[in-house]
Chain A
């Protein structure tokens, strides 16, 4: 079945550091890929998405590129802020799994001033 593997956390960075959170996936067909963010005490919210190979999703300074050849969707940000501290989930959704989304385990990011 489908699966998503995320870089294990927690990740601690200083403000303005470069962020990479690795995500690789296994899926049949051509899934859509997503990054969600969960701030403390809240539900998940969509951060960015990509629906086909080589698409780049971007939002709030975060970017991720759908790499079919390496089955990856790594999240990057050039300069993190304290307000980026949250849990980040990589996910996929495709017709071959009856439309159910498959989520990674989440990576906790803490940014220190």
Chain B
């Protein structure tokens, strides 16, 4: 079974802190994605990556950056956390060509910024 793990299930950070959310997949998938999920707004794509060292902006990249130094790991970075980044963050991976196909999700990290 594909397994996508995220470094924390719950995280509390202070405004202005630099925050790292880590995601690891164990099935050699090419494509990885970061979403945030907010009530009433559904899933919104932050960044995605089709290959090591590649990254593409999603629909809401402002205030975030990403890093993909190894195929299995995709990190989301909040350079200076703000309260409006309080959210559920979901990582996903997929094996499809150019990202097409079903995605496999991690359990999510619920981030609270105070």
Whether chains A and B associate is yes
Residues of A within 8 A of B (CB): 32, 34, 36, 41-46, 49, 89, 93-95, 98-101, 103-106
User: Do B42 and A101 have beta carbons less than 8 Å apart?
Assistant: no
* Nearest CB on B from A49, distance (A): 6
- The CA of A95 and the CA of B90, in the complex, are separated in Å by 23
- Contacting A at CB under 8 A, from B25-79, are 31, 33, 40-43, 45, 48, 50, 56, 58
Q: Considering the chains assembled together, what is the distance between the CA atoms of A46 and B104 in angstroms?
A: 7
Residue among A32, A36, A45, A99 with max Cβ neighbours from chain B (10 Å):
A99
Chain B residues contacting A104 (CB-CB under 8 Å) are 42
For chain B, give the interface size range: 20 to 34
Candidate in A41, A44, A45 with the most chain B CB atoms within 10 angstroms = A44
Are B98 and A42 touching (Cβ within 8 A)?
no
Q: In the assembly, what is the distance between CA of A49 and CA of B103, in Å? A: 11
Is B99 within 8 A of A99, CB to CB?
yes
Say whether, besides A93-B100, A93-B102, A104-B42, A98 and B56 are in contact (CB < 8 Å).
Answer: yes
Contact of B105 with A100 in the complex, beta carbons under 8 Å: no
> Shortest CB–CB separation between residue B77 and chain A, in angstroms?
20
* Inter-subunit contact B99/A100 (CB<8 Å): yes
| Interface contact A42-B108, CB-CB below 8 Å | yes
Please tell me which one of the listed residues A43, A98, A105, A106 contacts residue B98 in the complex, with CB atoms under 8 A apart. A98
